[in-house]
């Protein structure tokens, strides 16, 4: 009997020390795409919870006591920033967790260094009250995910330096996967070392196609960018200014938004103005994010040749967009299909 007890005690103590060594960093994110990025970079060394439901409008999330409790136990809190998830401040205030307050190493604004579009000027508030720091919907351009992933990698290393090598390795593998999805494996192999960085820079500077032509590599382009060649110049209408970054990257031409100003539902005269715009531009597709009413989009569709495409904008909003890569593939393929 005594021997049995000793044996159990040894297992118990061994179990405890093993647990202490391998306890993952507790990471909390506002949106689910940030959870996905943190998991790709953090791997086995993080346990990540996203606070917002990915089917919800990220501008308007109501903090709950459960969110505060999750934040209380966090080692690192990652928010999107750019005034999108302002509700995060309420969670941070109510969490009672000094480790994750703004300014400490346990708090990260993921979009630092992302080039922001539609920055309001002092004389104009024409972008509306919910985009006061410019358009925050930058995560729908995969090049901005490269920057966000680097921010996450650096912060994970700062908070948990003992796993720095793993974070650096995971980050590189994630970026390689994103580059393959963007340009295709074939082109990356043809360009050689640093292909993803070189091609990203060329694309951002609008130099990709002439650069590829000069090297007889045009036929090697694959991935999202090859598919999106058929999206170039396609006129679309969107409900909200959600697709400003996505459109720049993949060539859509957003001719109008149903919202007159971000955050303000379209009044009847606005709908009629958008009908006119849809007819004169030959619009075939209206992008309506899943959490907005379809009423205005259906009205415009009923009076033009356009059809309404229900869209998701966060990872996990539906089973088919279970990863960031699948979210972008879903958008590119469904817009192509709806625009035919
Ligand atoms: Zn917005």
Q: pLDDT tens, 278-319?
A: 999 999 999 999 999 999 999 999 999 999 999 999 999 999
Which residue do the tokens 């000069």 mark? 214
pLDDT at 17 over 60: no
Distance from the CA of 81 to the center of ligand 1, in angstroms? 12
Q: Let me know whether 36 and 160 are in one domain.
A: yes
First to last CA, the chain: 77
Distance from the CA of 128 to the center of ligand 1, in angstroms? 9
Residue 99 has what pLDDT? Answer: 98
Residue 124 has what pLDDT? Answer: 58
- Quote the CA–CA distance of 222 and 218 in Å, as a whole number: 9
**Cβ–Cβ contacts within 10 Å for residue 110, how many?**
29
148 lies in which domain range? 24-114+126-173
Q: Let me know whether 214 and 239 are in one domain.
A: no
- Quote the CA–CA distance of 87 and 248 in Å, as a whole number: 28
Reported as a pLDDT band with limits 50, 70 and 90, residue 128 is low
Reported as a pLDDT band with limits 50, 70 and 90, residue 18 is very low
Q: Let me know whether 70 and 86 are in one domain.
A: yes
Reported as a pLDDT band with limits 50, 70 and 90, residue 126 is low
Report how many domains make up the chain: 3
Distance from the CA of 122 to the center of ligand 1, in angstroms? 19
Q: What's the pLDDT tens digit per position in 214-232? A: 999 999 999 999 999 999 9
Q: Let me know whether 216 and 231 are in one domain.
A: no
Distance from the CA of 280 to the center of ligand 1, in angstroms? 26
pLDDT at 12 over 80: no
26: nearest Cα among 44, 47, 43: 47
More confident residue, 137 or 127: 137
Per-chain mean pLDDT for the chain: 93
- Quote the CA–CA distance of 23 and 35 in Å, as a whole number: 18
Residue 127 has what pLDDT? Answer: 53
Q: Give a yes or no: residue 1 inside a domain.
A: no
- Quote the CA–CA distance of 127 and 130 in Å, as a whole number: 8
Residue 123 has what pLDDT? Answer: 52
């Amino acid at each position: 009997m005594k021997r049995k007890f000793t044996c159990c005690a040894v297992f118990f103590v061994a179990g405890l020390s093993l647990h202490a060594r391998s306890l993952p960093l507790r990471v909390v994110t506002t949106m689910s795409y940030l959870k996905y990025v943190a998991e790709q970079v953090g791997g086995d060394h993080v346990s990540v919870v996203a606070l917002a439901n990915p089917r919800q409008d990220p501008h308007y999330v109501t903090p709950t006591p459960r969110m505060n409790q999750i934040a209380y136990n966090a080692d690192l809190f990652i928010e999107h920033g750019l005034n999108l998830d302002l509700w995060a401040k309420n969670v941070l205030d109510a969490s009672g967790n000094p480790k994750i307050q703004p300014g400490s190493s346990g708090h990260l604004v993921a979009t630092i260094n992302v080039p922001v579009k539609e920055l309001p000027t002092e004389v104009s508030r024409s972008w509306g009250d919910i985009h006061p720091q410019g358009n925050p919907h930058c995560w729908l351009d995969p090049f901005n995910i490269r920057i966000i992933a680097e921010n996450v990698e650096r912060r994970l290393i700062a908070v948990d330096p003992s796993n720095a090598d793993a974070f650096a390795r995971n980050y590189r593998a994630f970026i390689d996967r994103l580059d393959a999805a963007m340009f295709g494996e074939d082109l990356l192999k043809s360009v050689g070392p640093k292909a993803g960085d070189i091609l990203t820079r060329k694309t951002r500077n609008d130099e990709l196609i002439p650069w590829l032509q000069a090297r007889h590599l045009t036929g090697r382009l694959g991935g999202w960018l090859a598919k999106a060649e058929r999206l170039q110049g396609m006129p679309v209408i969107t409900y909200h200014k959600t697709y400003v970054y996505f459109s720049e990257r993949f060539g859509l031409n957003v001719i109008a938004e149903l919202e007159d100003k971000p955050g303000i539902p379209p009044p009847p005269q606005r709908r009629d103005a958008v009908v006119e715009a849809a007819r004169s531009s030959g619009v075939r597709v209206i992008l309506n994010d899943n959490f907005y009413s379809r009423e205005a989009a259906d009205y415009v569709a009923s009076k033009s040749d356009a059809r309404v495409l229900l869209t998701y904008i966060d990872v996990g909003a539906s089973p088919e967009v279970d990863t960031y890569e699948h979210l972008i593939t879903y958008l590119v393929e469904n817009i192509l299909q709806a625009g035919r």
